[in-house]
Amino acid sequence: MTTATTRRPATDAVLTGAVDEARAAAVAIASRPEHVGEHLGVDLDEERLATHRFASADPAYRGWMWAVTVARVPRGRSVTVSEAVLLPGDEALLSQEWVPWSERLAPGDLGVGDLLPSDPDDDRLEPGYQQTGAAGRSSQGDADTDTDVDAFDDDADRVALWELGLGRVRVLSHIGRDDAVDRWYAGDHGPAAPIAESAPAQCSTCGFVVALGGSLRRVFGVCANAMSPSDGRVVSYDHGCGAHSEVAELPPPVEVAPPVPEDPDLDLVDLRAPTD
């Protein structure tokens, strides 16, 4: 069995001594000659190939360095500049890693006239005919099959109502529905919101709540009270606010005691009383 070894390049006096040639190449591409700072060293990349490093004195590129790669031909006594670039060092200030726009978007970013192309592989959606087939199989009631009830709930389009080309191309998948349930329930209109914890009653007993359709109606409704901060929002039935439909009356006002003067020798004068 043979073991491969990495052969270090031999010392090359011609390449390592080409500091002036490398500096001239860095100055040629720098915006100003004074932006090329001190020589930081040279690295032998491989045989007859080396890279000289110079500090960047440009105030806009603190911590960067100029890297100039030089080479020579066999038995040659002169060098040729192969490449000159500005590279970041360990303390260089770098921009954030680029992220595709589809991953940068957050809820609330979409504005008037903006378009958000749909992802064909979005696991929150599935073809409508899959839901249709599930509904059809559920209606057959196969007693010998252990059927998951949630897989064939009211969210599926019924076969009798489906016509190819007239129904929705894609519908909400179970993954998409679970994501929505988790997001809504843990959000500002779920049971853990501060306003819900101090509410006089829950949304489940409020007359302003309109139940959702499908399986989501078991947990969520839509608030239809214009005076509620949740108006037009999906709320969980164990959410609540002070605009509950069954709040009979406001609590009695708190009585405030008259002020007590700090100096007992002072007399209180009613400024509203008529004077002689």
Residue spans per domain, the chain = 13-88, 125-172, 176-236
Residues in the chain: 276
Residue 236 clears pLDDT 80, i.e. is over it = yes
Q: In terms of pLDDT, which residue wins out, 247 or 81?
A: 81
Q: In terms of pLDDT, which residue wins out, 163 or 44?
A: 44
Average pLDDT of the residues in 201-219: 92
Q: In terms of pLDDT, which residue wins out, 180 or 97?
A: 180
> What pLDDT score was predicted for residue 139?
44
Q: In terms of pLDDT, which residue wins out, 62 or 266?
A: 62
Half-sphere exposure of 195 (CA within 13 A, CB side): 16
> What pLDDT score was predicted for residue 142?
45
Closest-CA residue to 201 (of 252, 234, 235): 235
> What pLDDT score was predicted for residue 276?
59
Element housing 109 (H / E): none
Look up residue 164 and give its DSSP letter. T
pLDDT tier at 213, thresholds 50, 70, 90: confident
Using CA atoms, how far apart are residues 15 and 70, in angstroms rounded to an integer?
Answer: 7
> What pLDDT score was predicted for residue 189?
95
**Residues 23-67 pLDDT 10s:** 999 999 998 899 999 999 999 999 999 999 999 999 989 899 999
> What pLDDT score was predicted for residue 138?
45
pLDDT averaged over every residue in the chain? 81
pLDDT tier at 143, thresholds 50, 70, 90: very low
Residue 10 clears pLDDT 50, i.e. is over it = yes
Residue 203 clears pLDDT 90, i.e. is over it = yes
> What pLDDT score was predicted for residue 9?
61
14-18, 157-161, 166-170: the lowest-pLDDT one: 157-161
pLDDT tier at 163, thresholds 50, 70, 90: very low
Q: In terms of pLDDT, which residue wins out, 212 or 119?
A: 212
Using CA atoms, how far apart are residues 54 and 79, in angstroms rounded to an integer?
Answer: 18
